[in-house]
């Protein structure tokens, strides 16, 4: 049903562009993506991935009207669980007022509320595809009704999100998954579970400083980042003196991710001092429902907590071979919980990020990126990433990369980055723009 809706919306967009071609801008891309994982000696998993990815974007602007369509589709040659189509942006908007300082918008929206490179406490509106990079998961568009009031000093925005878009999880064959097929994600509202149409909303204020940007937000929505994975179909067994699932497969073979309603207050800050950019991002979360979920670690309920990230980006004053080099340092962590609770909540519960990016400033836009994420609290947990990208022509671009997950399991249950230990892989993406 969703695929049909996307196709219909794209046809409408294409038809409108034909009617008023001079007011439309259209572009897109098609990518061939290949990745090869270190052999895990397991027949069930898929060590090689080969897929075709395509994205189409159309924009229409005329007077006080702006409409946008952007969506993508992905088809994997071997792993059908990676096949997916999604809207990123498909909205209609109109500006009002003599200065066009009031915008009313509705449709699918992709939000970027982050100020940092690796840890993103404030960037929580969109559901995500978890078969992608941990530092910046691929986002899915969310249905939204939005009002923006523009001032000389910034923007005041109000939002209504009427639907919970299900996150996308890797299948049992994916090396970036858990080796099992999760059941369909369920939102929790009071005693109700599995409702997609759930009223959510919030407000956000952005303020432009002389050399930076400041934002604050307050939202009440279904959380997208901290599910409890297990089952609510269980009973207490007095003979065993413990809770047991009524269907054992609902806990061990096809557990369900449960997402709870949460009130979040937070914000971001970026401020530049010459070659140095300081960054801050933070949020406090208070969950509404206390429904307990039976997980492999026992009964659990959502945990109220705060999350912060501090960072700095510094552009070196030395030009090597005519290029520019920037170094990154970030620290992120969860506050207001125990060590055990933090470990269950997030992969990056107390981590530091180090990065180096070198732009060669050549005609082909060559760029080299080297990063390391190191866990400060849990021993021997690191994520290494090396990537190189370069345009081959005006329409073609090549990207090569290596990712290494070094996080051996230290207990009886894998937690955080331990789930991906040994999922080291090389990747290549060849993209054609049109």
DSSP string, 98-160: TTT-EEEEEEEE------SSS--SS--SS-EESSS-TTSPEE--EEEEEEEEE-SSEEEEEEE
Of 151-160, 189-198, 216-225, the one with minimum mean pLDDT is 189-198
Q: Given this model, what pLDDT does residue 228 score?
A: 94
Q: Given this model, what pLDDT does residue 22 score?
A: 54
Distance of alpha carbon 420 from alpha carbon 406, whole angstroms: 8
Three-state DSSP at 416 gives: helix
Band (pLDDT 50/70/90 cuts) for residue 142 is very high
Q: Given this model, what pLDDT does residue 104 score?
A: 97
Of 19-33, 235-249, 314-328, 416-430, the one with minimum mean pLDDT is 19-33
More confident residue, 102 or 1: 102
Mean predicted lDDT score pLDDT of the chain? 91
* pLDDT tens-digit series, residues 270-320: 999 989 999 999 999 999 977 899 999 899 999 999 999 999 999 998 887
Return the ∠ at Cα 23 (arms to 18 and 26), rounded to 5°.
65
Band (pLDDT 50/70/90 cuts) for residue 11 is low
Q: Given this model, what pLDDT does residue 80 score?
A: 85
Across the range 217-231, mean pLDDT stands at 94
Q: Given this model, what pLDDT does residue 398 score?
A: 98
Q: Is the pLDDT of residue 68 over 90?
A: yes
Across the range 22-35, mean pLDDT stands at 88
Band (pLDDT 50/70/90 cuts) for residue 24 is confident
Q: Smallest Cα–Cα separation from 75: which of 83, 85, 63, 67?
A: 83
Of 3-12, 44-53, 62-71, 310-319, the one with minimum mean pLDDT is 3-12
Q: Given this model, what pLDDT does residue 5 score?
A: 46
Q: Is the pLDDT of residue 177 over 90?
A: no
Q: Is the pLDDT of residue 7 over 90?
A: no
More confident residue, 247 or 16: 247
Q: Is the pLDDT of residue 12 over 80?
A: no
Across the range 36-58, mean pLDDT stands at 90
For every residue of 196-219, DSSP letters joined together read: S---EEEEEEEEE-SSEEEEEEEE
**Long-range pairs for 44-48 at CB < 8 Å and ≥24 separation?**
44/172, 44/173, 44/179, 45/173, 45/174, 45/175, 45/179, 46/78, 46/79, 46/173, 46/174, 46/175, 47/175, 48/78
Across the range 316-342, mean pLDDT stands at 92
Q: Given this model, what pLDDT does residue 10 score?
A: 52
**Residue extents of the structural domains in the chain:** 320-434
Across the range 59-80, mean pLDDT stands at 90
Half-sphere exposure of 314 (CA within 13 A, CB side): 9
Q: Is the pLDDT of residue 13 over 70?
A: no
Q: Is the pLDDT of residue 17 over 60?
A: no
Q: Is the pLDDT of residue 16 over 70?
A: no
Q: Is the pLDDT of residue 74 over 80?
A: yes
State the pTM of this model. Answer: 0.90
Across the range 342-348, mean pLDDT stands at 91
* pLDDT tens-digit series, residues 351-407: 999 999 999 999 999 999 999 999 999 989 999 999 999 999 999 999 999 999 999
* pLDDT tens-digit series, residues 182-219: 999 999 987 788 889 999 999 999 999 999 999 999 99
What are the b/e assignments for 225-257, b being 16+ CB within 10 Å?
bbbbbbbbebeeeeeeeeeebeeeebbeeebbb
Q: What is the dihedral of CA 103, 106, 107, 111, to 10 degrees?
A: 50
Q: Given this model, what pLDDT does residue 1 score?
A: 44
Across the range 9-37, mean pLDDT stands at 72
**φ and ψ of 144, to 5 deg:** -150, 150
Across the range 82-94, mean pLDDT stands at 92
């Amino acid at each position: 049903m969703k695929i049909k809706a996307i196709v219909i919306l794209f046809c409408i967009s294409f038809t409108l562009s034909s009617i008023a071609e001079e007011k439309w801008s259209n572009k897109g891309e098609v990518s061939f993506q290949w990745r090869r994982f270190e052999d895990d000696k397991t027949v069930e998993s898929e060590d090689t991935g080969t897929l075709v990815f395509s994205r189409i974007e159309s924009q229409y602007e005329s007077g006080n009207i702006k409409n946008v369509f952007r969506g993508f589709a992905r088809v994997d040659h071997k792993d059908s669980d990676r096949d997916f189509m999604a809207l990123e942006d498909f909205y209609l908007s109109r500006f009002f007022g003599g200065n066009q300082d009031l915008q009313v918008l509705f449709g699918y929206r992709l939000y970027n509320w982050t100020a940092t490179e690796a840890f993103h406490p404030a960037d929580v509106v969109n559901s995500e595809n978890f078969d992608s990079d941990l530092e910046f998961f691929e986002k899915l568009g969310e249905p939204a009704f939005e009002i923006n009031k523009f001032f000389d000093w910034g923007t005041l925005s109000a939002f209504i999100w009427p639907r919970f878009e299900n996150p996308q999880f890797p299948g049992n064959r994916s090396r970036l998954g858990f080796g099992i097929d999760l059941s369909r994600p369920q939102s929790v509202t009071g005693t109700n579970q599995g409702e997609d149409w759930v009223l959510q909303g919030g407000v956000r204020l952005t303020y432009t400083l002389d050399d930076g940007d400041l934002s604050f937000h307050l939202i009440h929505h279904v959380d997208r980042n901290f599910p409890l994975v297990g089952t609510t179909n269980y009973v207490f067994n007095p003979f065993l003196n413990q809770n047991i699932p009524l269907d054992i497969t609902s806990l061990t073979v096809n557990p369900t991710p449960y997402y709870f309603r949460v009130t979040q207050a937070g914000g971001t800050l970026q401020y530049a001092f010459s070659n140095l950019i300081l960054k801050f991002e933070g949020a406090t979360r208070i969950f509404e429902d206390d429904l307990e979920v039976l997980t492999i670690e026992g009964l659990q309920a959502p945990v109220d907590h705060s999350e912060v990230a501090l960072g700095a980006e510094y552009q070196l004053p030395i030009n090597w071979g005519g290029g520019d080099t920037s170094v990154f340092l970030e620290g992120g962590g969860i506050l207001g919980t125990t060590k055990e609770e933090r470990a269950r909540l997030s992969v990056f519960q107390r981590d530091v990020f180090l990065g180096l990016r070198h732009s060669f400033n050549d005609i082909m836009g060559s760029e080299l990126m080297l990063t390391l994420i190191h866990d400060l609290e849990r021993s021997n947990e690191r994520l290494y990433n090396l990537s190189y990208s370069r345009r081959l022509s005006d329409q073609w671009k090549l990207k090569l990369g290596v990712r290494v997950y070094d996080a051996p399991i230290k207990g009886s249950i894998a937690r955080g980055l331990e789930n991906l230990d040994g999922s080291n892989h090389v990747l290549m993406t060849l993209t054609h723009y049109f």
